[in-house]
Amino acid sequence: MPRSLIACLILLAGAGTAEALVGRVVDARTGAPLGRVHVTLIGHAGSAITDGDGRFTWTPDPHPPFVAVVLLEGGRVGRPIYVEAVSGQDLLTLAVDTTFAELVTVPGIAPLVDAAPGAGMTLVSGDAAARRSPATLTQALEDVPGLSATSDGQAAVPTVRGLARGRTLILVDGGRVSSERRAGPSASFLDPSLIDTIVVARGPGSVAYGTDAFGGVISVRTRRPSDRAPLSVQFIGTVGTGIPERRGLLQLAKGFARGGVLAVAHARDVHDYESPAGRVGNSGWRDEGALVRVEHQAGPGRMSIGAQHDQGRDLGRPRSDSSTVRIFSPFERSSRLSASYEIARVAGLHQVRIDGLAARTHERAEQDRAPASNRPRSGERATQSAQDVQVRARGGRAVRQASLEFGLDASGRYGLGVQEVTLGYNPPGGLVSTLERVAIQSAERTILGSFLQAQLPATSRITVAGGFRLDRVHVANTGGYFGSRMRTDGAAAGFAAVSLAAAPGLSLTARVSRGFRDPTLSDRFYRGPAGRGLVTGNPDLEPETSRQGDLSATYTLRRIRLAASVYHYRITNLVEIYSPAADQFRFRNRGRAALSGAEIELDTDLGRGWRLALQGHKADGRALDDCAPLNDVAPATVAMTASGAIGRRLTAYVRTAAAARDDRPGPSEVRAPGSVDAGAGVALRFGRRLEVRGAARNLLNQRYYASPGAKWVYAPGRSGSLTTSVRF
């Protein structure tokens, strides 16, 4: 496949007649060039970075009309710019009002992700997420179609297209978020108040990112300092009711001529929440952390170094039987050192970027069983630690009319160890015995990969694209429950796509893809307590592979932006968690499975500062051997949000979301009722230093499940929060 794909791309490269689009981004008020900002075109994958003079190049040349969106410093999104025509001889100038920022979720763009053509793309600005006061990353993404949640509460895991449990890749500041949790990585260490920008690319990202990107990629960028900014201090405080909470954040930032420094400290204390049926026990948690980031213009590029440490404490895992079995995490610690270097243009290459990550996690899970008439109190404890490293380098180059992107990717998890302790108590409740076991003595996984993807015009209206990736995955385990094991697998991924500019503002894309996913180390080698019971891994699991087809369309006018897609996956060797007995969970390769669905996003400018956004998705997943439904496939959902300004100081939003009844639970799920969730919020500014925000959720006090697991609990009922932000 790779050789034939390259040959086709080379032959087609000489057939195109289009040229690259060259543009310049300037401040609309002063005319000064805006350097190091991301330029994106709605409906087009990727982005371009401006140089110090504000110039950028987009290859291949887009067919107008199109809409350009500029991502400014601080995660702010400039007002979309409608480009009706481009002269072949003139430099396209994009004038951006830097004093204005859209508080929106923007469909059709993904500037921080190497997305393939045809991917469903959405950008969520930090301000748009903050106005709803989300408690988790999952809540910050609730208006993105195809996004749902696995697990619940503070441990909620964002899932793309129902592909959960390690099949949706999460990046924070360019580095992978790894986890041995059965539900998959959740970035639970991340306080949403630290978010600068979130970008979601739905659809396989296996070519650019390798394993774990079946469903898509969620990329989060945390807060950044601004060049030349004066010393500033910001405090953000939040109190809540319904979900009793207290949050605080303190930020100090200082800009310099060629960079800046930022330091943030934050803490949260959340008590058990109230559902429509009463208080839900064991649902509270606490966390705190700090972030320090330094940025500097080093030579032709921008260097960024960030150190982040977070700790969660007494993290409850609510279940219907929490009064008899309390499952919780006494602590979860995450330390991450990330670094990046990005150059707009150098040595004939464009958008060169190198990302590095060194991380360490340390966490503990406990099960505490209350005494019963026939047995005393008992408990189990599992303590886990691991180190993660990653280096990823990517670059682009224009070859005639073609745009090439290529890179190398190395990542690994090392020193994974899990220690178990069984606690025995006497009838009065005193500790009388401890039995220690080594579940995993030391396990590791190393992945080495390289990728290439390209797109080029075949005619003035047709663009073709393709890409492939080769990986080598090495897994080893020493000691523990399963003993010494080792295996090495090769993996390949690829895609081919054709895009048609069918009419002014209308683009259609068809894509076929192949991806892979290697099971996590704990999927293979872990045995012990987890959030829902006792889990036993399977060292003989085979890697998953998928074949997928997508059809997508984007329609863009001055005031309307519409994106829609349908997709179909065929997955082989699906790794499935199932429950052979109460509170017992095991892993197996299911054979083959199919997953199909549709997504839609609509963003309309209503005028007078108001917008209307509509999004919806529907999916169906089944095992092909017996047509049984799959786990984690969310029911059909639709959401509508109206937001805008009332005068100069007040902004407001109203949101309604409806989920259908789920009558097709997976093997470890139950049937779940439908729901309607209504929310609203306002923000009032008092000058440039003080802002007060209020947000309310589930105003109708609807009863619905927090998650469809067998030990389900109700989600929070009517709740509200009040946030004050002060700048000095």
* pLDDT tens-digit map of 594-609: 999 999 999 999 988 8
For residue 537, pLDDT beyond 70: yes
> CATH code at 81?
2.60.40.1120
Total domains in the chain come to 2
With cut-offs at 50, 70 and 90, classify the pLDDT of residue 688: confident
Name the token pair of 132. 């709803």
Is residue 148 located within the same domain as residue 270?
A: no
Is residue 263 located within the same domain as residue 383?
A: yes
pTM of the full predicted structure? 0.93
With cut-offs at 50, 70 and 90, classify the pLDDT of residue 19: low
* pLDDT the model gives residue 102: 64
Is residue 148 located within the same domain as residue 259?
A: no
At residue 487, φ and ψ (nearest 5 deg) are -160, 155
Is residue 153 located within the same domain as residue 235?
A: no
Is residue 272 located within the same domain as residue 156?
A: no
Q: pLDDT for 78-122, tens place per residue?
A: 888 999 888 766 789 999 988 766 666 888 888 889 988 888 999
Q: How far separated are the first and last CA of the chain, in Å rounded?
A: 58
Domain end, chosen from 99, 133, 167, is at: 167
Is residue 433 located within the same domain as residue 355?
A: yes
* pLDDT the model gives residue 618: 97
Mean pLDDT to the nearest integer, 564-585 = 89
Mean pLDDT to the nearest integer, 457-463 = 89
> In which domain, by residue range, is 89 found?
2-167
* pLDDT the model gives residue 438: 93
Decide: helix, strand or coil at residue 114: coil
Mean pLDDT to the nearest integer, 278-286 = 96
| % the chain with pLDDT above 90 | 68
CA 499 – CA 43 distance, rounded (Å): 10
Is residue 335 located within the same domain as residue 482?
A: yes
Long-range contacts of 367-370 (CB under 8 A, 24+ apart): 367/325, 367/326, 367/327, 367/529, 367/533, 368/325, 368/326, 368/327, 368/328, 369/324, 369/325, 370/323, 370/324, 370/325, 370/326
Residue 65 lies in a domain: yes
For residue 6, pLDDT beyond 60: no
* pLDDT the model gives residue 100: 67
Residue 196 lies in a domain: no
* pLDDT the model gives residue 17: 39
For residue 718, pLDDT beyond 80: yes
Closest residue by Cα to residue 40 from 98, 91, 96: 96
